[in-house]
Structure 1
């Protein structure tokens, strides 16, 4: 029974002492981690300022050479990435050009075939519909080529009306008859 009581006392009364020491150890490690992170943050800030060309005065020649090598390698990587991007764009544009050329050839071939099936027929009588072009007899079923239907010739100009023709001289009542109608 005595052993049980001792264990009970250790668990109830001995634990807070160990809990306090573990809590203090945890706080201490957290504080040390904070200080390490703060120092790392300041070093990164200083490095960023150096890369931007600021605060270079306190650097020695080895640090400056290291900074120069770092900038050169970064510049090479940036140029390489940019060149690769431009080559990818060029390849894509060449592929699109090839597709457009193929589509253009196909359309030209269909256009030539359309003219062979339904050629333009010139009519000597210019007053016919479509400026001398006879309308097609049947529309084509092709989805790309539809011949345009022309409108009849538009007659623009003055058409004299025989009723409203004005005589050259005054009438019986000395009024111009063309003006009073």
Structure 2
């Protein structure tokens, strides 16, 4: 037999409502105790009946749990709803950053020769001096890079000269070695032919005497 599902709505019968309240309250407190024991949770329950009677359960102390709850609420409020002072500080900081960005953008345009109409003579002279310093720094860096390239080429030239000198000593030795090897090959070949001619002569003489 299946258990009939109870419709969740207010019980009109007062006596049935009180019985259900008593049973459900005990079950709720039991579940709270199990949750506290099994999960090491700090639990507090406050229940007021329809007759305004208070029932409470706490794993430690109702007062401690309430104070802990209030402390968490204040932290959440401060995080979710920043104070007016905090808004003001953030707004001022945002305005300062925006102004700096606008100033830097305007300076960059002026250095590119734009937006010069509103500048005074003194401001134009200041901009001119700044551009000269910038140009001087660029030219200096360019000259440094040129010198670095020239020095690298000079070092490469010295290395090539040293390698050329080394090859001048190595190549003659190789040529002499090849000549000696060729001469030895010629001498050994000549000796081989001389030995073959002597053996042929002795064979011919033997045949002549036999006749």
Deviation at 1:97, TM superposition (A): 1.0
**Which structure has the higher relative contact order (CA within 8 Å, separation 6+)?**
1
Change in Cα spacing, 1:63 to 1:136, as seen in structure 2 (3 Å) is: farther
Worse overlay, 28-37 or 106-115: 106-115
Alignment partner, residue 47 of structure 1: 107
CA distance in structure 1 between the partners assigned to 2:114 and 2:147 by the alignment? 35
Alignment partner, residue 138 of structure 2: 78
Describe the SS at the equivalent of 1:118. Answer: helix
Q: 1:66 aligns with which of 126, 130, 139?
A: 126
1:116 partnered with 2:173: no
Number of residue pairs matched? 116
Flag the structure with higher helix content: 2
Give the TM-score taking structure 1 as reference length. Answer: 0.55
CA distance in structure 2 between the partners assigned to 1:97 and 1:57 by the alignment? 55
Deviation at 1:117, TM superposition (A): 3.3
Per-residue CA deviations over 1:68-87 (Å, capped at 9, x if unaligned) read: 11100011111111111111
Greater C-alpha Rg: 2
CA distance in structure 2 between the partners assigned to 1:24 and 1:60 by the alignment? 41
Describe the SS at the equivalent of 1:95. Answer: helix
Deviation at 1:100, TM superposition (A): 1.2
> Runs of 5+ in structure 1 lacking a partner?
1-7, 121-133, 139-181
> Runs of 5+ in structure 2 lacking a partner?
1-66, 186-211
Give the TM-score taking structure 2 as reference length. Answer: 0.47
Change in Cα spacing, 1:63 to 1:112, as seen in structure 2 (3 Å) is: same
**Residues 164-175 of structure 1 correspond to what in structure 2 (within 5 A)?**
none
Describe the SS at the equivalent of 1:36. Answer: helix
**Residues 18-37 of structure 1 correspond to what in structure 2 (within 5 A)?**
19=78, 23-37=83-97
